[in-house]
A and B are shown apart, each in its own frame.
Chain A
């Protein structure tokens, strides 16, 4: 069964308020090498094995899963 793994994050130009707090927290814990943290969403979607799964996943991202005004996405599809 094809499985899509989708990663959604805020566009690089947007300030990620959660990421910034985690960055500070990591610094305080001694992880001084941390340069930047971006928080995103990770989705796994299982598909029935017919049709082009990448085409379907792309349509899902555009229509619902990501907001193109603020977010970017990428995905992998396992056969």
Chain B
């Protein structure tokens, strides 16, 4: 399978994603430079990696969404291609309108960098089909702007459609403010679009693909081929 990792100025998890896709999963992986239009139709997965694209100027993801490659990503997503936005990638997808809602400053105002637990809320998407419904994963986060927000109507729609894919939880899978690292509404850690081919999440599955790194819970998420 062919996989692509988009590189924006200020991306800093592009190599982690590339390593996970190429070395761990053995996909034919390429970096995709933000400034070039590319035909993505033969790709099985496109990742928007974490980092601080354009220095988070104005708002995280704001400038990156206007990069030339984003038109190609939009077209690819409209045709059903799989797009995964991790951390800054999630912020970019929200700013681009490919995912609902927005990511705001952590409630604590602190940059949170630690392993957290998330619960699989919908195991019937192309990204989560290798997990069980309700399975608890240990995956690291590293962000300052990860508090997911959306209006009430959108939240109702997300719940009704099963678009909330991951929620922060305790190691046993319980929900609670104590386990929510950033104050996200409804403990949301990841959401998908209505077709489930675009997923955004704050935790970093690419950093949890080998036991040497403390967890391999993220590996199955990237195993979309």
Contact = CB atoms under 8 A, between A and B. Distances in A.
Question: Do A and B share a complex?
Answer: yes
A17 B101 contact: no
Interface residues of A, number: 13
A70 B94 CA distance: 11
A67 B95 CA distance: 8
Contacts of A21: 109
Given A14-B149, A17-B183, A69 B102 contact: yes
Interface of B: 58-59, 62, 66, 94-95, 101-102, 104-109, 147, 149-151, 183
Contacts of B109: 17-18, 21
A18 B105 contact: yes
Interface of A: 10, 13-15, 17-18, 21, 41, 64-65, 67, 69-70
Contacts of A18: 105, 109
A56 B59 CA distance: 21
A65 B58 contact: yes
Given A14-B149, A17-B107, A18-B109, A67 B183 contact: no
Given A14-B149, A17-B183, A64 B107 contact: no
Given A69-B149, A69-B151, 13 more contacts: A14-B104, A15-B107, A17-B108, A17-B109, A17-B183, A18-B105, A18-B109, A21-B109, A64-B66, A65-B58, A67-B59, A69-B94, A70-B149
